[in-house]
Chains A and B, each alone.
Chain A
Amino acid sequence: MYDGKKAVKIALEKKRWETKMAGKAKQRSTGRLPRFSTVSDMEIAALYTPADSVVIDYGRDLSFPGEYPFTRGVQPSMYRGRLWTMRQFAGFGSAEDTNARFKFLLRQGQTGLSTAFHFPTLMGYDSDSPRSKGEVGKCGVAIDSLKDMEILFDGIPLDKVTTSMTINGPAAMIFAMYLAVAEKQGASFEKLGGTIQNDILKEYIAQHAWIFPPEPSMRIITDILGFCADRVPKWNTISISGYHIREAGSTAVQELAFTIADGIAYVQAGMDAGIPVDKFAPRLSYFFNAHMDFFEEVAKYRAARRMWARIMKERFKARDENSWKLRFHTQTAGCTLTAQQPINNVVRVALQALSAVLGGTQSLHTNSMDETLALPTEQAATVALRTQQIIADESGAANSIDPLGGSFLVERLTDEMEEKAMEYIAKIDDMGGMVAAIKRGYPQREIADAAFHYQRLVDAGDKRIVGVNSYKMTEDLRIPILKIDEDVEKNQVARTREVRRKRNAKRVKARLEALREGSLSNVNLMPLLLDAAREYATLGEICDVLRETMGTYTDPAKF
Chain B
Amino acid sequence: MASALARSRETTKERKPGRKVRILIGKPGLDGHDRGAKIIARALRDAGFEIIYTGLHQTPEMIVSAAAQEDVDGIGLSILSGAHNYLLPRIVEMLREKKMGNVVVFGGGIIPDEDIPKLKRKGVDRMFTPGTPLQEIVEYVRERVKPRK
Contacts and interface: CB of A to CB of B under 8 A. Distances in A.
A552 B1 contact: yes
B110 A134 contact: no
B20 interface: no
Interface in B84-100: 85-87
A468 interface: yes
B131 A468 contact: yes
Contacts of A555: 4, 55-57
A134 B32 contact: no
B25 to A, nearest CB: 8
Contact of B34 (A208, A467, A552): A208
Contacts of B110: 372-374
A559 B30 contact: no
B39 A452 contact: yes
A139 B39 contact: no
A335 B131 CA distance: 11
Nearest to B31: A119
A135 B60 CA distance: 14
Interface string B57-98: 101000000000000000000000111011100000000000
B3 A452 contact: no
A558 interface: yes
A106 interface: no
Interface in B75-131: 81-83, 85-87, 110, 112, 129-131
B18 to A, nearest CB: 25
Contacts of A247: 35
B129 A339 contact: yes
Contacts of B81: 119, 135, 138-139
B6 interface: yes
A557 interface: yes
B56 A557 contact: yes
Nearest to B4: A557
A249 interface: yes
A557 B53 contact: yes
A374 B31 CA distance: 14
B134 interface: yes
A72 B23 CA distance: 51
A559 B9 CA distance: 12
B11 interface: no
Contact of A448 (B31, B33, B38, B85): B38
Contacts of B131: 338-340, 372, 465, 467-468
B6 A558 contact: yes
A207 interface: yes
Given A119-B30, A338-B131, A481 B112 contact: yes
Interface in A204-258: 207-209, 247-249
A374 B59 contact: no
A233 to B, nearest CB: 32
Interface in A447-488: 448, 451-452, 455-456, 459, 465, 467-469, 481, 483-484
Nearest to B136: A459
A459 B6 CA distance: 26
A483 B115 CA distance: 12
A248 B56 CA distance: 14
The listed residue with most A CB atoms (<10 A of its CB), out of B34, B129, B133, is: B34
A410 B130 CA distance: 33
Interface in A97-136: 119-120, 122-123, 125, 130-135
A556 interface: yes
Nearest to A133: B86
Contacts of A30: none
Interface residues of B, number: 41
B3 A372 contact: no
Contacts of A521: none
Contact of B112 (A135, A374, A559): A374
B4 A554 contact: yes
Contacts of B51: 559
A139 B82 contact: yes
Contacts of B38: 448, 451-452, 559
Among B30, B33, B59, find the residue whose CB has the most chain A CB atoms closer than 10 A.
B30
Contacts of B129: 339
Contacts of B30: 119-120, 122-123, 125, 131-132, 135
Given A134-B87, A139-B81, A119 B29 contact: yes
Contacts of B85: 134
Contact of A559 (B2, B41, B133): B41
B137 to A, nearest CB: 10
- Greatest chain B CB density within 10 A among A125, A249, A455, A555 is at A555
Given A139-B81, A335-B35, A554-B55, A559 B87 contact: no
Contacts of A556: 4, 6, 55
Contacts of A122: 30, 32
Contacts of A468: 131
A134 B83 contact: yes
Nearest to A447: B35
Nearest to B59: A131
Nearest to A468: B131
Given A448-B38, A451-B35, A554 B3 contact: yes
A134 B29 contact: yes
A138 B32 CA distance: 14
B99 to A, nearest CB: 24
A132 B86 CA distance: 11
A447 to B, nearest CB: 9
18 contacts: A119-B30, A122-B32, A134-B83, A209-B32, A247-B35, A338-B130, A338-B131, A340-B131, A373-B110, A448-B42, A451-B35, A465-B131, A557-B3, A557-B5, A557-B55, A558-B6, A559-B51, A559-B53
Given A138-B82, A249-B35, 18 more contacts: A119-B30, A125-B30, A130-B59, A131-B30, A135-B81, A207-B32, A208-B32, A372-B130, A373-B112, A451-B35, A452-B39, A459-B135, A481-B112, A483-B112, A552-B1, A554-B3, A557-B3, A559-B53
Pick the 4 closest A-B CB pairs, nearest first: A557-B55, A134-B86, A208-B32, A138-B82
Interface of B: 1-6, 25, 29-35, 37-39, 41-43, 51, 53-57, 59, 81-83, 85-87, 110, 112, 129-131, 133-135
